[in-house]
Amino acid sequence: MIDMTLGEVADVVGGRLSGADPRLRVDAPVEFDSRKARPGGLFLAFPGEHVDGHSYVGDALAAGAVAAIVTRPVDGPSILVSDGHAALAALAAHVIRRLPDVFVVGVTGSSGKTSTKDLLAQLLERLGPTVAPPESFNNELGHPYTVLLSTVDTKYLVLETSARGTGHIRYLTEIAPPRIGVVLNVGSAHLGEFGSRAAIAQAKGELVEALPADGVAILNADDPLVATMASRTAARVVTFGAAGDVSASDVRLDELSRPRFTLRAGDASAQVAMRLSGEHQVANALAAAAAALECGLPLPEVADALSQAAPRSKWRMEITERPDGVVVINDAYNANPESMRAALDGLVRIGSDRRGNTWAVLGPMAELGDSSPAEHEALGRAVADSGIDRLVAVGDESRGIARGAAGQDGWAGEAEWVPDAEAAITLLRKEVQPGDVVLVKASRAVGLERVALELVR
């Protein structure tokens, strides 16, 4: 956060200040979780469906917050506004305009936004102070929240931008106009809300529509719905992927499915050996590399930083090898059809070097709309086609996965269905043997990470 007075904040958000001196200084971020409130910061109270942030204003003030931004009157120093989201957006838009030298890079796509922004942050940190979202902060709350983490020292601001509908990304780009926009892919995440992939592409493309003529659109050459976004931007276009300006050759996966490859840009090349697992990380790495090269990081440094980059966000292809040799892959952060396939590939790769069974412990994929039953059955068939040894489908909506696998001719593996995470834990505790590899994955709402965490305890 930049240094502002409480009076200025009230003006910017169009709110009414009460109970505090307008000359008080604000110099720490805006928090909407009272447990994170800090001296010098602000607390934003949301009405919330289950918990009302207004009940925590006292806690936040006790923790040192200068004032609370509220939508109904409270005791203590506060700024009363009519809409908390609008207040946050207005403040973020104001702050970023007061920091004209901050270079904003937006990242969007159906899968891999968080993975890519974590890589990109680790590249740009080599060039200067970089702010990037915590976890997967990417919506109308998390995006402006991240903007407000910027300070006068910030040089690069990496933003994850998500959309559940048309206009969502445009809204975010109006808060913080990007100079570089990265579009990773158009998949079927949130197909339920959008209705079609074309509609998803339309929404994701709003990121590159927002770029200025001296900006750069970084587009996936291997995804036709992304490549055609070149016609929707005033910015220069740089592509990544097999036929892209920034590409990877000689891609190999080591015994933990970590990619090694030759990174190419123009005539130059450099070797990369990633610490992250999964072949899909190659595309994410290329996208991050393209953005960092545009910011002026030399190719050898890009390759070195990609090789050093550590996982920053939890439960994404997080691999733990137990003392008894069981490998647990915790990819339970979230799931959609594309990321399920990517994770199954990782499981098969890691299993191929080991003597034990491969286990796919899979829960439902949310938000797929009408295509949901067909997608779950297709996933089951993919499990069987991959030659995975044991499938454990968890939860009611996952019955289709088990059905799809069991119905696949010629599969030598075994499909089981269990009602919940606890039943999965019981089954796995009993049957997983040294040398086995276990993948755990489902949509976020299912909380299947419990299974993975239990297995590595």
Ligand X SMILES: Nc1ncnc2c1ncn2[C@@H]1O[C@H](COP(=O)(O)OP(=O)(O)OP(=O)(O)O)[C@@H](O)[C@H]1O
Q: Which does 277 bind (CB under 5 to 8 A by kind): ligand X, Mg ion, none?
A: none
- Residues 359-378, one symbol each (x = binds ligand X by CB under 6 A, - = not), give --------------------
317 binds ligand X (CB under 6 A): yes
Q: Which amino acid would we find at residue 260?
A: R
**CB hemisphere CA count around 380 (13 angstroms):** 28
Q: What is the DSSP letter of 45?
A: P
CA 185, 188, 191, 192 dihedral sign is negative
What string marks each residue from 129 to 168 as x (binds Mg ion by CB under 5 A) or -? -------x--------------------------------
> Which listed option, ligand X, Mg ion, none, makes contact with residue 143 (CB within 5 to 8 Å by class)?
none
Q: Which helix (H) or strand (E) holds 360?
A: strand 358-362
Residue 114 is a binding residue for Mg ion (CB under 5 A):
yes
Cβ distance to ligand X smaller for residue 139 or 233: 139
Q: How far is the CB of 418 from ligand X (least distance, A)?
A: 21
Query: Considering the complex, what minimum distance in angstroms separates the CB of residue 82 from ligand X?
Result: 29
Q: How far apart are CA 377 and CA 147, in angstroms?
A: 41
Helix (H), strand (E) at residue 385: helix 372-385
For residue 387, count CB atoms less than 10 angstroms from its CB and return exposed for 0-12, middle for 13-18, buried for 19 or more.
Answer: middle
Q: Which one, 124 or 184, has the nearer CB to ligand X?
A: 184
CA count, 13 A, side-chain hemisphere, 53: 23
Residue 421 to residue 354: CA distance in whole angstroms: 26
Element (H, E) at 304: helix 299-308
Q: Which stretch binds Mg ion (CB under 5 A): 111-119, 388-396, 419-427, 429-437?
A: 111-119
The two structure tokens encoding residue 328: 């647990």
Residue numbers 278-307 binding ligand X by CB under 6 A: 278, 280, 283-284
Closest separation between CB of residue 67 and ligand X, Å?
Answer: 31
At 319, the amino acid letter reads I
Q: Which of 54, 94, 113, 403 contacts ligand X by CB under 6 A?
A: 113
Residue numbers at the binding site for ligand X (CB under 6 A): 109, 111-115, 136, 138, 162, 184-185, 189, 278, 280, 283-284, 316-317, 331, 333-334, 338-339, 342-343
